[in-house]
Structure 1
Amino acid sequence: MARFALITIIMPVLFLTSCSAYDFASPSNGRIKAKDKQIFFFSDEENIDKETKYYDALLDIKQKYPKEVRQMKVYQTEQKNPLQNHTFPSLVVIDNNQVIVKINGFVKSKEEIVRPITKALSN
């Protein structure tokens, strides 16, 4: 009986208290509360070959903003995500509960990704 109480009461409490510092708002409003700018990458693992420009861009961005790229949240197509994004691939930067940059779908060059993302991270 004590083991059942441990599993049903204490384990969920421990799990919830060990969550990250990010406070996700209601998914229905598509807003996220984070203390710093946050990058989100939405990937389609079935079409990963079409995402090479995104990966190349992220490598360039990582050189100047390693912390932000290291803390980037990655979501696959089958995962529910706090932004309710349904376009893959996509890169989104959030600051003060606002989407400040969103790049999605096909791009001609990695510079179409690098320029707006680095500008958003530098402000």
Structure 2
Amino acid sequence: MKRICFLLIASTALLLSSCSGVSSQNVTQATDEMIRKQVLFFTDDENLTSEIPYYDAILELKSKHPESLKHLKVVNTRSTEDQPILDKTPESPAILVIEDNEVICEIEGSTNKNNIVKPVAQAISHWYD
């Protein structure tokens, strides 16, 4: 149990400390401004254990595609601030890959790391790397 708590806290700290801040104004004005390339991670403070595969996947993706994940946006689903304008907000945990204001990849709900890494890596592979 202590190991899981440590991994969860360490993963969260590493993820949050390595994410670049993105102005909420730029994201929330998605209908007015074009989002060229963006990865959104939807999180819920009360659902952290189901998010562990997502944190692991994000860490792996950041190591393989650092430039593409440079502007990763973490969105707390319980907060009314920082919410991007979407037709449908996904249930937490979820990762959306947005290109030219369109969702080109969406992973939602409980899954394993490989089911997250493969489609996201494929979606972002042509961005910068």
TM-score past 0.5 threshold: yes
Gaps of 5+ in 2: 1-24
Match of 2:73 in 1: 73
Count of matched residue pairs: 98
Matched, 1:97 2:101: yes
Match of 1:46 in 2: 46
Task: Give 1 or 2 for the bigger CA radius of gyration.
Answer: 1
Match of 2:4 in 1: none
**What TM-score results when the alignment is normalised by the length of structure 2?**
0.67
Write out per-residue CA displacement over residues 61-120 of structure 1, whole angstroms, 9 at most, x where no aligned residue: 00121123231111112224222514000000000111000000010x201000000000
Asked if 2 retains the 8 angstrom alpha-carbon contact of 1:22 and 1:33, the reply is no
**Bigger helix fraction:** 1
Whole-angstrom distance in 1 between the partners of 2:118 and 2:39? 14
Matched, 1:24 2:25: no
Runs (4+) off by over 3 Å: 19-23
**What TM-score results when the alignment is normalised by the length of structure 1?**
0.70
Asked if 1 retains the 8 angstrom alpha-carbon contact of 2:90 and 2:108, the reply is no
Match of 1:122 in 2: 125
RMSD: 2.2
Instruction: Give % identity.
Output: 36
Asked if 2 retains the 8 angstrom alpha-carbon contact of 1:101 and 1:120, the reply is yes
Gaps of 5+ in 1: 1-18, 27-31
Asked if 1 retains the 8 angstrom alpha-carbon contact of 2:96 and 2:105, the reply is yes
